[in-house]
């Protein structure tokens, strides 16, 4: 495995502590719920939860966990994803972004993949912003995401 559970736990704890330490009047963490479909010999459909925090004006770093049916039965995954947004201040209704990272799949055999994703995030309504992603990482991937919308930020 590329990363151990202890290393992943330490990374998540550091991410959450750093994001909360910098928070002033607005929350900086962006929880998200998602549904991802992965094609290929190891196909899977995963419902997942994640959290993202800013690493700067344009870059967001997040962790995602997902579980669902797959080619070999029930499978799960953990992703570490860095997202580069082209519209960090919500100046447009829809904004493209690129993302990359690593994914660890388990349940029907353990495998690790590099991720390369392209997405678009939509307008905020009632505190939620939809997003759609396409990419590769162990096969073709497509995702539908609902993120908590931050005021005047993506």
Q: Where exactly are the structural domains of the chain?
A: 5-148
Q: What is the DSSP string of 24-91?
A: SSS---EEEEEEEEE-STT-EEEEEEEEEEESSSSEEEEEEEEEEEETTEEEEEEEEEEEEES-TT--
pTM: 0.81
Beta strands 95-106; 44-54: pairing state: unpaired
From the candidate CATH numbers 3.40.1080.10, 1.10.357.10, 2.40.160.20, 3.30.1600.10, the one assigned to the domain spanning 5-148: 2.40.160.20
Which tens digits make up the pLDDT trace of 54-66?
999 999 999 999 9
Mind listing the pLDDT tens digit for each residue in 77-126?
999 999 999 999 999 999 999 999 999 999 877 899 999 999 999 999 99
């Amino acid at each position: 495995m590329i990363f151990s559970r202890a290393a992943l736990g330490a990374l998540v704890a550091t991410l959450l502590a750093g994001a909360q330490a910098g928070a002033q009047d607005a929350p900086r963490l962006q929880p998200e719920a998602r549904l991802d479909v992965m094609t290929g010999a190891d196909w899977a459909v995963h419902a997942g939860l994640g959290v993202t925090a800013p690493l700067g004006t344009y870059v967001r770093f997040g962790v995602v966990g997902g579980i669902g049916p797959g080619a070999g039965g029930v499978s799960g995954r953990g992703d570490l994803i860095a997202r580069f947004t082209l519209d960090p201040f919500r100046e447009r209704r829809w904004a493209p972004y690129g993302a990359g990272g690593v994914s660890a799949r388990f349940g029907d055999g353990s495998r690790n993949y590099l991720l390369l994703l392209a997405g678009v995030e939509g307008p905020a309504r009632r505190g939620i912003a939809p997003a759609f992603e396409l990419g590769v990482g162990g096969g073709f991937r497509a995702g539908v995401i609902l993120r908590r919308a931050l005021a005047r930020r993506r």
